[in-house]
């Protein structure tokens, strides 16, 4: 949260639009973009191997649902899915969420 305070005196009334414009510009530079953070956390939780699904599964390479087990290959596949989905949503779609 950014708070800009400035007291105006009669002598600086001509500078008032410049001060307001500078304050608005300063506020936009300090705004945090929470979109990539929330997207990464969401996909990290949803793509945890074994939580909702596991690709490939432990038996015959087919997906398993809610198995709560994992393997090295499943970790590798879910890592590729995580970075792929994060890249799509952050770069191609451009999800942005700004907070003051």
Q: Show me where the domains of the chain are located.
A: 1-30, 31-99
Mean pLDDT over residues 15-24, rounded?
54
pLDDT digits (tens, 9 = 90+) for 71-88: 888 889 999 999 999 999
pTM of the model: 0.61
Per-residue model confidence (pLDDT) at position 94: 85
In the structure, what pLDDT confidence band is assigned to residue 59 with cuts at 50, 70 and 90? confident
Per-residue model confidence (pLDDT) at position 44: 92
Name the residue with higher pLDDT: 71 or 22: 71
28 and 98 in contact (C-beta within 8 Å)? Answer: no
Rounded Cα distance, 60 and 93, in Å: 35
Assigned token pair, 52: 């909702």
């Amino acid at each position: 949260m950014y708070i800009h305070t400035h007291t105006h005196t009669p002598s600086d009334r001509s500078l008032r639009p410049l001060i307001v414009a500078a304050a608005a510009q300063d506020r936009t530079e300090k705004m945090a973009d929470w979109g990539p953070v929330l997207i990464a956390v969401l996909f990290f939780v949803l793509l945890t191997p074994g939580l909702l699904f596991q690709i490939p599964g432990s038996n015959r390479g087919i997906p398993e649902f809610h198995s709560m087990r994992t393997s090295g290959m499943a970790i590798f596949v879910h890592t590729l899915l995580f970075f792929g989905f994060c890249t799509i949503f952050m770069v191609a779609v451009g999800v942005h969420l700004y907070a003051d």
